[in-house]
Amino acid sequence: MKLAPIEMARRVALDIPDGSYVNLGIGLPTLVADVVPADREIVYHSENGILGMGPAPEPGTGDPALINAGKQPVTLLPGGAYMNHTDAFVMMRGGHIDITVLGAFQVSERGDLANWATDEATMPPAVGGAMDLAVGARRVLVMTSHTTKDGRPKLLPACTYPLTAAGVVDRIYTDLAVLDVTDSGFLVRELVPGVSADELQDRTAAELTFAPDLVALTPV
Amino acid sequence: MKLAPIEMARRVALDIPDGSYVNLGIGLPTLVADVVPADREIVYHSENGILGMGPAPEPGTGDPALINAGKQPVTLLPGGAYMNHTDAFVMMRGGHIDITVLGAFQVSERGDLANWATDEATMPPAVGGAMDLAVGARRVLVMTSHTTKDGRPKLLPACTYPLTAAGVVDRIYTDLAVLDVTDSGFLVRELVPGVSADELQDRTAAELTFAPDLVALTPV
Amino acid sequence: MIDKRVPTLAEAVAGVKDGSTVLIGGFGNSGVPVELVHALLELGAGDLTIVTNNAGSGETDIAALIRERRVSRIVCSYPRSAGSVWFEKFWRAGEIELELVPQGTLSERMRAAGAGLGGFFTPAGADSPLADGKEVRVIDGRRHVFEKPLPADVALIKADRADRWGNIVYHSAARNFGPVMATAAALTVVQVREFVELGALDPEAIVTPGIFVDRVVEVSA
Amino acid sequence: MIDKRVPTLAEAVAGVKDGSTVLIGGFGNSGVPVELVHALLELGAGDLTIVTNNAGSGETDIAALIRERRVSRIVCSYPRSAGSVWFEKFWRAGEIELELVPQGTLSERMRAAGAGLGGFFTPAGADSPLADGKEVRVIDGRRHVFEKPLPADVALIKADRADRWGNIVYHSAARNFGPVMATAAALTVVQVREFVELGALDPEAIVTPGIFVDRVVEVSA
């Protein structure tokens, strides 16, 4: 048993406090905005110059110029603002974003993040705003499947892919567990029911510690 | 015979082409705005975040917050814009101001400018935006009396006061002459009638060259 | 729900500690957050480092902070003015430390702090004694001096209108240092003439987005 | 009199030379100055260095410039997209050089050029291979990489309205790289939906003041 993407998103959403300024990375993390509890007022930031981003417009409506970092149509909430790219990155790199949720190829037990390049050389490299976000957000959450599609571990003693940034990841939400990056490596906080500690360790290249108050990661 | 301040300002104004972006330093240079030929459209910049500054308002009218770098009340012309201090200095330091007219304590024959500090230590030092303007404006014009009040030369082989910036001055307008800073030092272009070349040299510490096509600097 | 509005000036400056670095907006008398500075005076915090363009004039706001011996250090570009009597008196007596910074560098150092940069090279001041003791590097044939970010504990700013998210617009040349100071402080406090409803400010024209603002307080003119 | 309005797209891009560095605004399909890029294509200038966030998509604008072999080098943060076929083809063939720059650094390097700075230290990328060959310095315990200004010969920008002084306002998220690119180029050209009278734009809300703009051209939607 493992969590579906929307279940992972719901778990991440629980950790986003009311009033947070949040940047969601492209892909899986964008699901989070759809499932944040309705009583929380969250200000979403997009690197292309939007603060206070709202959901996708009704089909056939909306402003074609108003897209998010993943180039999908979005809206602006009351209280939202537009800014130029440079100022959008002042917010990111300058420590003004409370939380970013990012995808990952690999995360090391020291919190190193690799999420922009693999070791294949057939596609041109692309980086976007990932490095600025990773170094600048106050809290870096990673949302990823626990292993790659072909079952290789993504949580490692050290990343083998080129780094996005070193020592920046605070917490990881996988389809199997929630893990904190601590001074002594990965600390498992929550674990999906039906997966044993040994099974999780088997799917993880780095050595895991399990919290004394380990909680069941039950889909909500 | 020497030029009055308003006559100096009229001479400087002739060298400000239609369509220029101009920053006038505090003091004597501010006179220039009053005497630019009426058929020229000049955009005046002020370091505190004004582009398209207009003349002082009628007494008793005007916006108390709308002041120039010298803290005097001004107005905004149609087409003018407000910006924050950082962006105002992007314009100055970034080479976007076509012409600045500055006062000077001393100018060297290499175009070094000293206009912010003397060697007296009884008053606290103050620098303002002079250094950013001096390094950043495309053309730096100096407007100053030829000598100090007590008759000491201001145009020197080398400045003795702390520099504002080295090698930046293009042209100097004094109450006696107009001089260009060239690779071989001061070149006198225009000279007030009634002052001989020898007399001008006497009042100048650096060695002067006189242009073959020297022109009479007649008050207008 | 996000609501950065506070009802009183005292609450606006609550928690500012002795030894803080405080950015104070304004250029001459334009855009100075006079009421916030008076609230800071009332609060009693001392041993402050004040970062501001001018060193106060007359008997109010920054001059009053200096007179009441709350300021141990001032970082500014132009401390001298017609009425900067208190600053000059304490400066001559060696009781206040002055760090003189070219105005563009002052603003850019705060921007670097707000933008998460480690510093920058500028040609401004590189030929002057203000570069003494600093790293100087010739870049593209021109001398540049390395300048460090200037972060702060608190920023006190005057603006025109704010909504409950802390979005801010300013009034004419009173804008000056407000936007950059808002980015550079851990606690940014803005006094405004008027609160407006969320959504009332044009999203194309918001100058300081609420992300940079912690508290807003209304001060009637 | 100042009048930066030009009547045709051809006049808007006139004089752009072979070998130029050209900044092109836009993020994805938002804010791309499509008509100006097509005018540049028509003009025929080649051996261009293009600085832009994405490397074009489909068959129009930047993709067309690449397809027609006008681009020898591209500086961008995210060249890969669903339709970046022409870029990928030339990149694989080694016929186009790619300089990959983190997006915030790309924007900041243009700002440094426009702001007259000699460069800056940023933590972004300092732990990555993108810092290889660059100066790395530990500042306040964190690795930073030194990045240089990125000035250009020309900037092509899309905006919403302009007056004859070249004052510019943008439309929603199409603003993106426009304001910073306008500051960094020797020749800044802006296509707008509409010309307005001088004085019609709110001075509190002008995003790119005319001082950064050389030519404006109207392109009806």
User: What per-residue confidence (pLDDT) applies to B122?
Assistant: 80
- The answer to whether D105 faces chain A, any CB pair under 8 Å, is yes
Task: State the SS3 of C13-40.
Answer: HCCCCCCCEEEECCECCECCCHHHHHHH
Say how many C-beta atoms besides its own lie within 10 A of residue C210's C-beta: 29
Which residue, B214, B204, B184, B7, is CA-closest to B106? B204
Residue A108 to chain C, least CA–CA distance (Å):
24
Take residue D212 and report the two structure tokens written for it.
């950064």
Q: Quote the DSSP letter at residue B167.
A: S
By percentage, how much of chain B surpasses pLDDT 70? 100
- Centre a 10 Å sphere on the Cβ of residue D22 and count the other Cβ atoms it contains: 27
Pairing of strands D168-169, C152-162: unpaired
Sign of CA dihedral A119, A120, A124, A127: negative
The token pair at D161 is 């309205």
Amino acid identity for residue B23 in this structure = N
Average pLDDT on B108-118 reads 96
**Residue pair D45/D72 in contact by the 8 Å Cβ criterion:** no
Tens digits of residue pLDDT in D34-52: 999 999 999 999 999 999 9
Give the distance from residue A219's alpha carbon to the nearest chain D alpha carbon, in angstroms.
Answer: 33
Interchain proximity B78–D198, CB inside 8 Å: yes
**Ranges of H-type helices in B82-204:** 85-93, 130-136, 197-202
Structure tokens at B29: 């240079």
Residue B66 contacts residue C30 (beta carbons within 8 Å)? yes
**Of A15, A84, B5, A135, which is closest to residue D168 (Cα–Cα)?**
A84
| Cross-chain Cβ contact C120/D120 below 8 Å | yes
Phi and psi at A165, nearest 5°, equal -160, 150
Within the 130-159 window of chain C, which residues sit less than 8 Å (CB to CB) from chain B?
130, 143
Chain D contact partners (≥3 CB pairs within 8 A): A, B, C
- Identity of residue D150: L
Residue D18 backbone dihedrals phi, psi, to 5 degrees: -55, 140
Chains D and B touch (3+ CB pairs under 8 A): yes
CA–CA separation, A34 and A27 (whole Å): 13
- At residue D221, the pLDDT reads 66
Instruction: Using alpha carbons, select from B173, B150, B206, B130 the residue that is nearest to residue B32.
Output: B173
Is B58 one of the catalytic residues?
no
Q: Note the pLDDT of residue B51.
A: 98
Amino acid C18: pLDDT: 98
Specify whether the CB–CB gap between B82 and B61 falls below 8 A: no
Q: How far is CA A7 from the centre of its chain?
A: 14
Q: H or E element: which one contains D37?
A: helix D34-43
pLDDT band at residue C107, thresholds of 50, 70 and 90? very high
Kindly give, in sequence order, each residue whose CB lies less than 8 Å from that of residue C198, ignoring residues fewer than 6 positions away.
A78, A79, C163, C164, C165
Give the pLDDT mean for D97-117.
Answer: 98
Q: Would you call D144 and C118 a contact, using CB atoms and an 8 Å cutoff?
A: yes
- The token duo for C117 is 């940069």
Percentage of chain D lying above the pLDDT 70 cut: 100
pLDDT tens-digit series, residues C80-92: 888 899 999 999 9
Mean of pLDDT over chain C: 97
Q: Tell me: the pLDDT tens digits for A107-125? A: 999 999 999 998 777 888 9
What H or E segment, with its residue span, contains residue B44? strand B43-46
Per-10-residue mean pLDDT, chain A, length 220: 95 98 95 95 98 94 94 96 98 98 98 91 89 98 97 98 98 98 98 97 98 94
Do B and A touch (≥3 CB pairs < 8 Å)? Answer: no
- The answer to whether A78 contacts C115, with C-beta atoms less than 8 Å apart, is no
Phi, psi of A196 (to 5 degrees): -85, 165
User: Is the pLDDT score of C12 beyond 90?
Assistant: yes
Tell me how many degrees the CA angle B31-B33-B34 measures, rounded to the nearest 5. Answer: 70
* Tokens of residue C37, six digits: 């500075």
Per-residue pLDDT at C213: 98
The H-assigned helical ranges of D47-186 are 61-67, 85-92, 103-114, 178-184
> Would you please indicate which residues of A are annotated as catalytic (active-site) residues?
47
Instruction: Express as a percent the part of chain B with pLDDT over 90.
Output: 94
Which residues of B are less than 8 Å from C78 in CB distance?
Answer: 126-128
Give yes or no for a contact between D99 and D78, defined as CB atoms under 8 angstroms apart.
no
Q: Do A123 and D80 touch (CB under 8 A)?
A: yes
Mutate to test the interface with D, among B22, B76, B91 (most CBs of D within 10 A): B91
The whole-angstrom distance between D16's CA and the closest CA on chain B is 20
Handedness of CA A53, A59, A65, A71 (dihedral sign): positive
- What residues are paired with D146 via a beta bridge? D121
What are the pLDDT digits (tens) for B174-195? 999 999 999 999 999 999 999 9
SS3 content of chain D, % helix, strand, coil (to 5): 25, 30, 45
Residue predicted with more confidence, D164 or B124? D164
Gap from A16 CA to chain C (nearest CA, Å)? 13
Half-sphere CA count of D61, side-chain side, radius 13 A: 25
Dihedral of CA atoms C135, C136, C137, C138 in degrees, nearest 10, equals 180
CB contact under 8 A, A45 and C212: no
Name the 3-class secondary structure at C44: coil
Amino acid at site A146: H
Count of residues in chain B: 220
Distances in Å between the alpha carbon of D15 and those of A24, D44, D219? 42, 11, 20
At CB < 8 A and 24+ separation, what contacts does B12-19 make? B12/B101, B12/B141, B12/B143, B12/B173, B13/B37, B14/B220, B15/B99, B15/B141, B15/B171, B16/B40, B16/B42, B16/B99, B17/B98, B18/B42, B18/D1, B18/D2, B19/B43, B19/D1, B19/D2
Q: What is the reported pLDDT for C81?
A: 85
Half-sphere exposure of B14 (CA within 13 A, CB side): 11
At A55 the pLDDT is 94
Out of A79, A92, A94, name the one closest to residue C199 (CB): A79
pLDDT at A119: 76
Q: What is the pLDDT of residue A152?
A: 97
Beta strands in C163-209 (DSSP E): 168-169, 185-195
Residue C61 has phi, psi (to 5 degrees) of: 35, -115
Q: Give Cβ neighbours of residue C178 (< 8 Å, ≥ 6 apart).
A: B84, C25, C31, C157, C158, C159, C168, C170, C190, C207, C208
> Residue C144 is nearest to which of D118, D121, D202, comparing CB atoms?
D118
| Nearest-10 crossing angle of helices A85-93, D103-114 | 120
Chains touching chain A, criterion 3+ CB pairs below 8 Å: C, D
List the single best residue of A61, A77, A84 to mutate versus D (max D Cβ within 10 A). Answer: A84
Q: Do D118 and C121 touch (CB under 8 A)?
A: yes
pLDDT of residue A1: 80
* pTM > 0.95: yes
Residue D120 burial class via C-beta count within 10 angstroms: exposed 0-12, middle 13-18, buried 19 and up: buried
Q: How far apart are CA A50 and CA A80, in angstroms?
A: 7
pLDDT digits (tens, 9 = 90+) for D131-159: 999 999 999 999 999 999 999 999 999 99
| C-alpha span between A22 and B74 (Å, rounded) | 42
Distance from C-alpha of C186 to C-alpha of C152, rounded to nearest angstrom: 6
Distance CA D135, CA A30 (A): 35
**pLDDT confidence tier of residue C221, bands split at 50, 70 and 90:** low
Q: How far apart are CA D132 and CA D145, in angstroms?
A: 9
The answer to whether the CB of A142 falls within 8 A of the CB of A171 is: yes
C-alpha pair distances (Å), D177 with each of C77, C96, D159: 31, 44, 11
pLDDT at C38 over 80: yes
